[in-house]
Amino acid sequence: MEIMYWDVAKAADLAHTYNEQVAGVPHCYPVSPEDFQAGFPYRKYTDDYYGEYIHSEKIIVAMQNVGIAGFADVALAEVEEDGRKESIGFIRFLTYKSGCRSAGQALLEESERYLTGLGTDRIKAYRLHFRYDHGGYRFYHIGFSMISDQLGHICALLHMNGYRISGGEIFMNQPSYTLAKPVPPDDQVEIALEQKSPVCAVLPGLCVRAFRNGKRIGTCESTSAGEFSRSEKAQNWLFITGLFVMDAEQGKGWGRYLLQRNLWEMQKAGYKNTVISTDITNFRAQLFYMNYGYRMADTTFEFVKDI
């Protein structure tokens, strides 16, 4: 086995390995070499709450007789949190073929060696905040960056090397859903619909807002999974990206209504399936969504290690 450093310009050559590894993971669809290359590089500056500067990205590749056994995508970020600046190493993605543990171990050790050599003593793997617009892969898992428990050999490798879970997201599916037009809890509320034109997808997204006396009391937003993948299988999956109800209006049925109104409107637009996600510790939301037809599909994690 040989460990090599590749330039980011060669990322397209990793698309086949990536597709092999994520096959069967919910909402991970095959990606072309061209799209893999286009979605690979970090945005140098991100606009999330860290206001961080990402640099020193490297691709580390494990080569065996059969070809590419796995790869790691790593970088360093200068972050500021609570008025304190520090450098944090990131393993944005690490994958290796199940059964080739030596390749996975070598990739992880080389990633740590490279990042600690840049001066960091903390490494995050599959970072929670690396959504597709903040440094993650747009084509991976509806734009989320955390590692699926379906890739258990990678999760186990991280645990075995002293990494601990520091966050996570649960995904719930409702395939082949059908709904009748929902009835609002009361008629003193105005409902406003704003359809969002697709950018990369075939079908649109939607924002449903509820107003009482001109004041917004709740919102439910959705988009197509096709915004993250060109795959035909992604196009008729509606991703509920946000559901919010003001505290004073909770417990009155507005969460259910806004969710179901969005689903009903998008059902008419052509969607067949729906997916939603929430934090692994938000049990109230998990129970709520499952009460209305969603079922657990995937659990994803962020890992961290202090060197």
Per-residue burial over 241-272, b = 16 or more CB atoms within 10 Å of its CB, e = otherwise: bebebeeebeeeebbbbbbbbbbbbbbeeebe
- What is the rounded distance in angstroms from the CA atom of residue 189 to the CA atom of residue 99? 58
User: What CATH number did the domain enclosing 85 receive?
Assistant: 3.40.630.30
- What is the rounded distance in angstroms from the CA atom of residue 145 to the CA atom of residue 263? 25
Number of domains in the chain: 2
Same domain assignment for residues 29 and 108: yes
- Both tokens of 167, joined, read 């966050």
- What is the rounded distance in angstroms from the CA atom of residue 190 to the CA atom of residue 215? 10
pLDDT (tens digit per residue) in 233-273: 999 999 999 999 999 999 999 999 999 999 999 999 999 99
Q: What is the pTM of this model?
A: 0.91
Confidence at residue 78, expressed as pLDDT on a 0 to 100 scale: 82
**DSSP label at residue 293:** T
User: What CATH number did the domain enclosing 201 receive?
Assistant: 3.40.630
Q: Which domain holds residue 149?
A: 2-168+302-306
Residue 180 lies in a domain: no
- What is the rounded distance in angstroms from the CA atom of residue 211 to the CA atom of residue 209? 7
Strand residues in the chain grouped as ranges (E): 2-6, 53-64, 67-81, 84-96, 122-125, 147-148, 164-174, 190-196, 205-212, 215-224, 237-245, 273-279, 295-306
pLDDT (tens digit per residue) in 57-78: 999 999 988 799 999 999 998 8
- Region 144-166: mean pLDDT is 96
Same domain assignment for residues 66 and 207: no
